[in-house]
Every structure is written in structure tokens, then in C-alpha cells.
Structure 1
Amino acid sequence: MNKQEKDILNTLYHQSVNNQREISELSGHSLGVVNKSIKELMNKGYINEKCAVTPKALIEFKEKAPKNAVILAAGYGMRMVPINTETPKGLLEVNGEVLIERTIRQLHEVGIYEIYVVVGFMKERYEYLIDDFGVELVVNEEYTTKNNLYSVKKVLNHLSNTYIIPCDIWCDKNPYHHHELYSWYMVSDLIDDDSTVRVNRKMELVTIPKAAGGNAMIGISYLLDDDAQIVKGRIEKLCSNSANDGAFWETALYDKDRMFITARVVHSWDVVEINTYEQLREMDSDSNHLKTDAIQVISDALSVSADDIVDITVLKKGMTNRSFLFSCKGKKYIMRIPGEGTDQLINRRNEAMVYNTIDGRHICDDIAYINPDNGYKITAFLENARVCDPENNDDVCKCMKRLREFHDMKLKVNHEFDIFGQLEFYESLWDGSPSAYRHYRQTKENVLSLRPYIEAHVNEKVLTHIDAVPDNFLFVKDENGNEDIRLIDWEYAGMQDPHVDIAMFCIYSMYDREHVDKLIDAYFTERCSAETRIKIYCYIAVCGLLWSNWCEYKRNLGVDFGEYSLRQYRYAKDYYKVVQDEMQKLEDN
């Protein structure tokens, strides 16, 4: 049977019809297609002369009936800022009903009780579904670093006549059925510039260029067993290659320029994917989840109503925080929300003190609000800003010049960033767990042995940024069109040897020895002494271990920084050796 014949057979099985015209209206196919399909169904033995389904058709319905469902609920839902800092998107309430609960009830209505919910972010919040709805939770431990391709991989053994459903879907009418005769992927009739597929006349989903305007991808799919087996094999192969860590599970549905399963098109008002705060506001302006702490802070700080806060857009998730861009009364701002575990890492009162010290000096971004208790911060958005390119020598030289100018201001605050103390502190946050690195104890001992040399060569401590990495140098234009450089993100700033900032720039940029020396020379235009250069090498080793310990703590919270964490540990080991070699050269001379 082709798709049209299956649609018409399904109509005949589930609906009481009197003539072909009614079949046409119910199935959505033309009268000509209906007449042709009825003849074929009779010839193939699926219906009799009275258009009643035959035992052969009943066997077909039974074999292809849905067995189970998989609901994907592991991700952060990053576009749902600021709600996702308090509630996982599957538990958002719309019109008085929780999204995932509505989906589960709709599945129950058609007899599907074998339901697997793949969880990750805030997984504990979904636990009640086990008791209330009888679902099985499947934990995706890799949700922080991989996309939902890996969530589906967790349930491959269950894929057979299966619905795959995103957790952030609101279906006005129940889209699930007791019977399905073919595999499909759901899109809507809404044209979406972000979509990469379009339905052609054959009801195939073909790929299109970005921004060409395709059918909005809903994400619900049904896979018959035969097609599920194909998807299983493809997902296993895709997941074996780390290049696919960011891939969606739909990648497994494509054969070159089209999906190998058919399209199911629904009206845009029948099924809605709720991805953003503003989409939720459009769906249910009275939703309790719209009343978040972040929105209230913005309202109070800028003296506006929640309705004035528009164009909310998630920014790239940082290493410490989550941030989002928003507009309010014609101006753009960035709201920073501290990330997981940062309450133990950062003293927000010290940070607020730093911003107070540098206020009005045109060093940093313009602060509209900062809370010294919880770290919420609102800054004016700098239009057309770009970050420093650590591989661009001109950029780097300008940033070092700006950094030197800041250090030469010799600003003071009442707190110090104690590198060695913080190194021990981050290790203490492991709660007794051993380091992931086999030689950690020896590496730490080596690094700590550098302390006497460092302390003997510190000339003066001033306010130091500590996190002076390329991403925190913003190139902007002032009101006269002149280029300016602003340093942002002063969370770790405190009194310290300013040369620490040079080391921090190096290790974040993952510089090799040659680039490290070039950076030092860019900062010390008057020539750097051998003793100071060795001290900076010491800082590279110490700061490498410092951030390696920080990464190990964050990894215990489920946040992994990949190569960055490994490279920091290598800086600790490698630059201890560099220091030993350079000190030996000094002695020999």
C-alpha cells in the first residue's frame, strides 16, 4: 500500500462513511485519489465490495499499532531563559496543565501506557511521574555536552512502533492514535525561516537552504518497527563519532537530501512547540511560570512592567553563568544569572565592590543593576561589539596595552584573590573525591613548590581582573566612532600581582610556548626581565592547576568543559618543567 491507500484504509476503519465524497473530506485526499485507492485496496484484499475492512486489514492494523512512546526531556531548554533556571521546560504549565502531563494523558487516551521519559537537566523534578503516571525514567548523563541524538540512543532497545515526542509540545487535539499504518515525522503548515525542511507534493520532507522558509518542525514522530531498526543502526553509528555530539536525533532520518519517512502535516494552531518565554506568554499570559525571579528583578531595576520586557534571546552559555539578551523600551540589555554551584565559587559582594571601584572609568561594560547577594546583574548591551581574537596579533597587542593601562591605575579593593588558597578551596569542593588525574598529588606538590619564587618576585599588588581572557575583552565603538576596549566579567577580580592576568590570557587561549612569549613581549613593550618571565611561567603552572581543580568541581556537578579542562592540567605539569629549565639556565649564567 502507498500512503494514500493507507490513509483511506485508516479512514474506512475508524469512520462511518456513506460515500466516496465523505471519505475524501475525512482523509484529505481528492475524490480521484479516493476512487483509485478504493479499487487498489479491494484488489489487494484489504476491503470488500462494501468498503468494509477485511481480516487481512485487521492483521495489518494490529501489527503496526503503537506499542510505546519516548518523551525527550533531558535538555536545558536554553532558549527558555529565564524560566529554565527554575523549571525544566517539560514541566511548564500552560492553561493550567503541565506540558508533559498533558502529553502522557493523551497517550493514555489511545491505550499507550509504556512510556519512557529521557531526563537529564533537573531530572529529580520529573521523579513524581513514576508514581502518578507509571512512566519509566531513563537518565541521560551526557545531557550537558551532547544533544538529543544521545537521548534517543539511551532507549534504542525500546524503539518498535514507537512515538518519539519532545517534552515542550502543546497539542490542542490528541495527535496520537490507536492505529498507525506508516512511519511519519510531524511538521506544521506554518512557514518557519529556521526550518531546514519543506514538504513536497509527494509528502516527502526535503532539505532546503537555511532561511529559505520551510515547514515548522514539530518534532513528534512515529516509527514502525522496520524503520525503527534502520534508525537504531544509524544512531549507533552517529554516536560513535564525537563530531555528532551536537546533533539532533532527526539526523538519523535523512537519506541525503530528504527524510526516508513521510511527512505528517498539521495545522499550526493544533500543535505548538513552546521554546521561548515569549511563546509561553503568547500561549498563556497568566502562566505562573512567567513570574520568574529574573523578570521581577528586571521590572524592579528598570521600573518597567513585565510586558515591556521583549525580544528575550539566550546568549551562549558561559563557563560560569547563563545570560540572556532582552529589549526594554527601545534599549537592549543583558541579564546574567549565576550558573550551577557559583554561590560557592564567587563572593558576589566582592564583585559588587569591584564594580563600584571601576565605575565611571570606562574600563568595563555599563552596569544597570547588580545584586551583591545572588549575583543577578543587568548591563547595557554594547552594539556591534566583538571579542578579542587570540590568534590576531593586532588584537592581542591592543588588549595587552589596555590591560597594562588598567594595571597602571593601581586601583585598590579590600579583598585579595588568593591563588593558592583558591586552589585548595576548589579541591575541597570535591568532598573527598579523588582527582581524575593519576599524578595529581605529585603535580600539586610541584606547583606549590613554585610559591617561594613567586612571592620573592612580586613587586606590588593592585586590582587585577584574574579572568582576563580573550572573550572578556570587547572591542566597541564610542559615540564618536573611535575604537575602545572594555573588560567585562569581573567576578574573580581582587588584589593580586597584575602579571597573573597575562598568565590567565595565555592558558585560556591554549597558547604554546612561542605564543606565550609573544604575549609577554606585547605586554612589556620595554622588555621583560628573565626573572619576571619565569614568574609568569610559574603563574601559568599555578593557574593551570587552579582552573583544572575548578573544572573537576564543575564536572562533579554535571558540567564538562572538554579539552579546556585537560589543557589546564597539562599547563600545571608542563610549565613546572619549563620553570625548572629556565631557572637552571639562570644559574648556569
Structure 2
Amino acid sequence: MERIEFEVLSACAEGIDFTLQKENLHYSESDVQQTKINLERKELLNGDTVTEQGLKELEPYRVKRVVFLAAGFGSRMVPITINTPKPMVRVNGKRIIETLIDAAIGAGISDIYIVRGYLGEQFELLQRKYPNIRLVDNPDYDGTGTISSFYYAKELLENAYVMESDLVLKNPKIIRRYHYCSDFMGTRVDGTDDWYFRTEDNGHITEIGVGGSGKNCYKLIGISYWNKEDGRRLADDIRTAYESPEGRNLPMSFIPFRVFRDQYRVQIMPCRESDIIEIDSFEELQVYDKAYQIHSSK
């Protein structure tokens, strides 16, 4: 299936607006309308309704599972993370990780794994509400980055979302039921001091960096998808890197975008800044949830 056919068909199947992806891949409105006509001729689409045959055509692109990375300490969220893992912190009454879990379930993804480390026993509380959750232990979480969580979940990466679990999701529709290829989520920005991607016109990620050189780029969001081939390849490359002398100190994103960059063709999956809230400090938490504000008595 051609990319534009997939985008139109999957958007209709999921009931989503793919305006951002259309712009990212340079599709015109006439391109979209002609594609709809072609899909109707192939009996994959009837108006805006996907036919039974259309759903069969989409099935090879279905996301099989989601892996949540939830092992870290969250030092910048002290004091709230002294007794609570950051993904389990409540923001306006709901645990951060639950905003992501609910979106995954809403997209029809029921195979859910959580890689735990710091105060890992607390994640067992989630199994009462979500019995299908399975927990993966990361004994190396202290002193390593997310690469250690990828390492202990490396056999789960095929046809899978991998999500950092400290993102407050405001728009659940950005979690898709179907993916055409491996991709990494990002927000288009004029500049950023954070991690960023640069891309070719077709959306292929060509560069990753951090700091002041991030101009006219995509700010990295910690949500990625890996298809069957790349997920299998990533598992091998993570094992090779992690078991090397310096591997545990590598940022995970360096594996596909620097260390083994010639082996991957990862796309950008654009999202809007309003879709996700990244709470990086206790001060930011106080802004988003006034219940955490500390009032000094006069």
C-alpha cells in the first residue's frame, strides 16, 4: 500500500484528523481527494467508512503492543518523587502514566508492558485497574538512562510503541492504532534547547542533537514506534551497545540515529505542542496542578 493510501485509510478507520501528517508529507487536498476516489475504486473505502476489505489491508500495520519506560527516579520532581515514582504522580487527579495507558487502550492496544525500577512495587497498583498490564524489572535503572529499560524490554520492540511514562497526554488521538513505518514523535519548533530532530522533506529523520543548535526543527517527544523489522534490528543493536564498555552511558536515541544510523529509516510523527505536557520539575507540577502549591503562612 502506498503511504498516502495508508494515511487516508487509517485516518478514516480511526476517526482522526491527519492534517499534521499531511502537511509533513506534503500532501495537497487534491492528493487526498484523489486518493479517496482510488480507495473507493479498490473497494477499500465507502465514503469515509473503511470497508471490511480495507480493514484487512490495514491489519499488517496494526500496533501489537506498548512498552512504557517507567524505571527512573525523577530527581527534578523532588520532593514529590521521594515516595512516588514520577509516572505514578497524580496531575489533576489522574496518574501521569494512566493518561498514556488509557490512550493506548482506546486505540485498541491491549498488550501493555511497564518497565519498572525505582519504587517498582508501586506499579502493581495499576494491575488492579488494568489486569492486562505486565511488569518488567530493570535492575540497572540507577545510574543508567533509558537505554537500560530498552535493554530489558528488547524482545518486545517489534510492532510496538515505546513511551516514556512521564508525559501527560492531553490528546489521546495521537496514539494510533496503525503505523506505516517506524517513527518518532516530535513537535515542530523554531528553536529549542532540548533534544531535537531534523528531517528531510519526506519526513525522514536525518539528525539528532541537543542544545542551542536546535533551530527550525522538531523537539523530541519520548514516544516512538518500531515496526517488525526495525524492532528486531533494534533489539540486536541495543544488546551490542549495552554490553559494550561504554554502552550504558549512551542516550538511547543514539542507537538508531548515530551509532547504527545507516541501518534505519525512521520518520517523524508530528504532534502539536498542546497534545502533550512535559512536566520536568516540581515547580512546573505546581503550575499545572495547584494542589501541589505550597502556601506559606503569614
Question: TM-score, with normalisation over the residues of structure 1?
Answer: 0.44
Q: Is the 8 A contact 1:69 1:163 kept in 2?
A: yes
Which of the residues 283, 286, 291 maps onto 2:288? 283
Q: Is the 8 A contact 2:161 2:225 kept in 1?
A: yes
Residue 69 (structure 1) aligned with residue 66 (structure 2): yes
Q: Is the 8 A contact 2:184 2:266 kept in 1?
A: yes
The CA deviation at 1:56 is 5.4
The CA deviation at 1:123 is 1.1
Number of the residue aligned with 1:80: 77
Return the alpha-carbon distance in structure 2 between the equivalents of residues 127 and 23 of structure 1: 36
Number of the residue aligned with 1:256: 261
**Residue deviations 1:409-441, cap 9 Å, x none?**
xxxxxxxxxxxxxxxxxxxxxxxxxxxxxxxxx
Change (3 A) 1:108 1:39: closer
Which of the residues 103, 106, 121 maps onto 1:106? 103
Residue 157 (structure 1) aligned with residue 155 (structure 2): yes
Letter of the aligned partner of 1:260 in structure 2?
Answer: R
Return the alpha-carbon distance in structure 2 between the equivalents of residues 245 and 107 of structure 1: 29
3-state SS, counterpart of residue 245 of structure 1: helix
Number of the residue aligned with 1:451: none
Letter of the aligned partner of 1:253 in structure 2?
Answer: P
Q: Is the 8 A contact 2:65 2:160 kept in 1?
A: yes
3-state SS, counterpart of residue 206 of structure 1: strand
**Residue deviations 1:118-139, cap 9 Å, x none?**
1111112222122232211111
Number of the residue aligned with 2:213: 212
Number of the residue aligned with 1:237: 240
Listed as ranges, the gaps of 5+ residues in structure 1 are 17-21, 304-589
**Residue deviations 1:256-279, cap 9 Å, x none?**
389622111111111122221232
Return the alpha-carbon distance in structure 1 between the equivalents of residues 40 and 156 of structure 2: 35
Return the alpha-carbon distance in structure 2 between the equivalents of residues 23 and 146 of structure 1: 36
3-state SS, counterpart of residue 11 of structure 2: helix
Return the alpha-carbon distance in structure 1 between the equivalents of residues 205 and 77 of structure 2: 27
3-state SS, counterpart of residue 137 of structure 1: strand
Q: Is the 8 A contact 1:12 1:23 kept in 2?
A: no
Letter of the aligned partner of 2:32 in structure 1?
Answer: V
The CA deviation at 1:26 is 9.6
Matches within 5 A, 1:539-558: none
Number of the residue aligned with 1:145: 143
The CA deviation at 1:282 is 2.9
The CA deviation at 1:200 is 3.8
Which of the residues 215, 225, 230 maps onto 1:227? 230
Number of the residue aligned with 1:267: 272
Q: Is the 8 A contact 2:6 2:58 kept in 1?
A: no
Residue 7 (structure 1) aligned with residue 12 (structure 2): no
Return the alpha-carbon distance in structure 1 between the equivalents of residues 83 and 118 of structure 2: 11
Matches within 5 A, 1:340-379: none
Asked which structure has the greater CA Rg, the reply is 1
3-state SS, counterpart of residue 195 of structure 2: coil
Return the alpha-carbon distance in structure 2 between the equivalents of residues 280 and 77 of structure 1: 12
Listed as ranges, the gaps of 5+ residues in structure 2 are none
3-state SS, counterpart of residue 175 of structure 2: coil
The CA deviation at 1:52 is 6.5
**Residue deviations 1:185-243, cap 9 Å, x none?**
11112442222312442212232554112422111112222221121121111112131
Letter of the aligned partner of 1:154 in structure 2?
Answer: Y
Return the alpha-carbon distance in structure 1 between the equivalents of residues 88 and 46 of structure 2: 50
Q: Is the 8 A contact 1:148 1:247 kept in 2?
A: no
Change (3 A) 1:91 1:240: same
Number of the residue aligned with 1:201: 201
The CA deviation at 1:38 is 4.8
Aligned Cα root-mean-square deviation (Å) = 3.2
Letter of the aligned partner of 1:202 in structure 2?
Answer: N
3-state SS, counterpart of residue 221 of structure 1: strand
Return the alpha-carbon distance in structure 2 between the equivalents of residues 6 and 157 of structure 1: 27
Matches within 5 A, 1:454-493: none
Change (3 A) 1:124 1:24: closer
Question: TM-score, with normalisation over the residues of structure 2?
Answer: 0.82
Letter of the aligned partner of 2:291 in structure 1?
Answer: S
Return the alpha-carbon distance in structure 2 between the equivalents of residues 259 and 89 of structure 1: 31
Change (3 A) 1:107 1:208: closer
Change (3 A) 1:42 1:183: farther
Q: Is the 8 A contact 2:116 2:138 kept in 1?
A: yes
Q: Is the 8 A contact 1:77 1:89 kept in 2?
A: yes
3-state SS, counterpart of residue 178 of structure 1: coil
Return the alpha-carbon distance in structure 1 between the equivalents of residues 74 and 121 of structure 2: 16
**Residue deviations 1:276-295, cap 9 Å, x none?**
123223322x134x55xxxx
Return the alpha-carbon distance in structure 2 between the equivalents of residues 125 and 15 of structure 1: 35
Residue-pair matches, total: 287
3-state SS, counterpart of residue 145 of structure 1: coil
Number of the residue aligned with 1:127: 124
3-state SS, counterpart of residue 152 of structure 1: helix
**Residue deviations 1:369-417, cap 9 Å, x none?**
xxxxxxxxxxxxxxxxxxxxxxxxxxxxxxxxxxxxxxxxxxxxxxxxx
Return the alpha-carbon distance in structure 2 between the equivalents of residues 25 and 93 of structure 1: 30
Matches within 5 A, 1:160-179: 160-174=158-172, 175-179=174-178
**Residue deviations 1:559-585, cap 9 Å, x none?**
xxxxxxxxxxxxxxxxxxxxxxxxxxx
Return the alpha-carbon distance in structure 2 between the equivalents of residues 156 and 277 of structure 1: 31
Letter of the aligned partner of 2:73 in structure 1?
Answer: Y
Number of the residue aligned with 2:184: 185
